[in-house]
């Protein structure tokens, strides 16, 4: 079977161009462009790269961005003070805290303190609760990206059997709720599988769509996939590869080369869910701005 390789970069480009157009229309109407504030604590090369990319993504679609960089030794009350200022600032529509935070800080308490109206990462319990209730405000970027990828690839969700492998708070659980929701982008029969699942192969064999979000390479192998099924790979894992300059390469949770021989459609890693996830942060930031008028 010739599998269709789903092109996350192309979908992300399309989403970004739609956001850019909406921001342009907003500005043309005399409204302020959306503004995202990024809080980064301590120094971490990977985090610095991610933050730079996020601000670059913003600037490319006309979203303005700003950055607070706090020292590694910052106290909890200094962080809370900064978040209070961000919450109170009318010119800031959206804010995120780049993770990981230094271990002496209470990450949950910090997430809880950011106003749910500006929480474009969708981490606040209010936003997860609204998602559970079927009236989401900010959907965490990864599950939003998976749904967007399926819908924009014209893959049917309605009535399909979808197996999600992984039950994390920011991917597996919210994605299960989104895809089971009774609406035109949901209505699937959804199974949540995980490390406690017995006979995973039996469970996935019944799936029309498999979403792998485990953080382990080769979680999904060809023998687990019904011929013609769709496989979406959320994983991003480093595996040693001495032929590369960095000494590693990125792979997903799926044994891509073998699984693609049986699927009707499959996402690559990189270039699948990842780029769309980046675009969803911009989408949430636009939504945060639109909530204000």
Residues annotated catalytic, as ranges: 54, 98, 121
Report, in Å, the least distance between residue 191 CB and a second copy: 4
DSSP the chain: ---EE--HHHHHHHHHHHHHHHHHHHHHTTPPPPEEEEEEES--HHHHHHHHHHHHHHHHHT-EEEEEEE-TT--HHHHHHHHHHHHH-TT--EEEEPSPPPTTS-HHHHHHHS-TTTBTT--SHHHHHHHHTT--SS--HHHHHHHHHHHHTT---TT-EEEEE---TTTHHHHHHHHHSSSTT---EEEEE-TT-SSHHHHHHT-SEEEE-SS-TTSB-GGGS-TT-EEEE---EEEE-TTSTTSEEEE-SB-HHHHTTT-SEE--SSSSHHHHHHHHHHHHHHHHHHTT-
- Of 73 and 169, nearer to a second copy (C-beta) is 169
Report, in Å, the least distance between residue 101 CB and a second copy: 17
Report, in Å, the least distance between residue 197 CB and a second copy: 4
Report, in Å, the least distance between residue 289 CB and a second copy: 22
Q: Which residues bind a second copy (CB under 8 A)?
A: 124-134, 158-159, 161, 167, 169, 173-174, 176-177, 180-182, 187-198, 203, 206
- Of 8 and 136, nearer to a second copy (C-beta) is 136
- Of 48 and 108, nearer to a second copy (C-beta) is 108
- Of 129 and 227, nearer to a second copy (C-beta) is 129
């Amino acid at each position: 079977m010739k599998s269709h390789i789903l092109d996350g970069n192309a979908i992300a480009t399309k989403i970004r161009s739609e956001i850019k157009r909406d921001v342009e229309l907003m500005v043309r109407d005399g409204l302020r462009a959306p503004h995202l504030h990024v809080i980064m604590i301590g120094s971490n090369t990977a985090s610095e790269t991610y933050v730079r990319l996020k601000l670059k993504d913003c600037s490319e679609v006309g979203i303005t961005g700003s950055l607070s960089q706090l020292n590694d030794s910052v106290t909890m009350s200094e962080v809370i003070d900064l978040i209070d200022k961000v919450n109170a600032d009318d010119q800031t529509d959206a804010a995120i805290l780049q993770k990981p935070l230094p271990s002496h800080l209470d990450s949950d308490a910090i997430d809880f303190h950011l106003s749910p109206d500006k929480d474009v990462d969708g981490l606040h319990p209010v936003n997860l609760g609204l998602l559970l209730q079927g009236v989401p405000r900010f959907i965490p970027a990864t599950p939003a990206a998976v749904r967007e990828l399926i819908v924009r690839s014209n893959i049917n969700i309605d009535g399909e059997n979808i197996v999600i492998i992984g039950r994390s708070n920011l991917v597996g659980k919210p994605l299960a709720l989104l895809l089971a929701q009774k609406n035109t982008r949901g209505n699937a029969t959804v199974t949540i599988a995980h490390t406690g699942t017995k006979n995973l192969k039996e469970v996935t064999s019944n799936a029309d769509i498999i979403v792998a979000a485990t953080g382990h390479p080769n979680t999904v192998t060809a023998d687990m996939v019904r011929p013609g099924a769709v496989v979406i790979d959320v994983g991003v894992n480093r595996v040693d590869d001495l032929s590369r300059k960095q000494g590693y390469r990125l792979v997903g949770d799926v044994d891509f080369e073998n699984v693609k021989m049986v699927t009707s459609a499959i996402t690559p890693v990189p270039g699948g869910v990842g780029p769309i996830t980046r675009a969803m942060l911009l989408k949430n930031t636009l939504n945060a701005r639109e909530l204000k008028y």
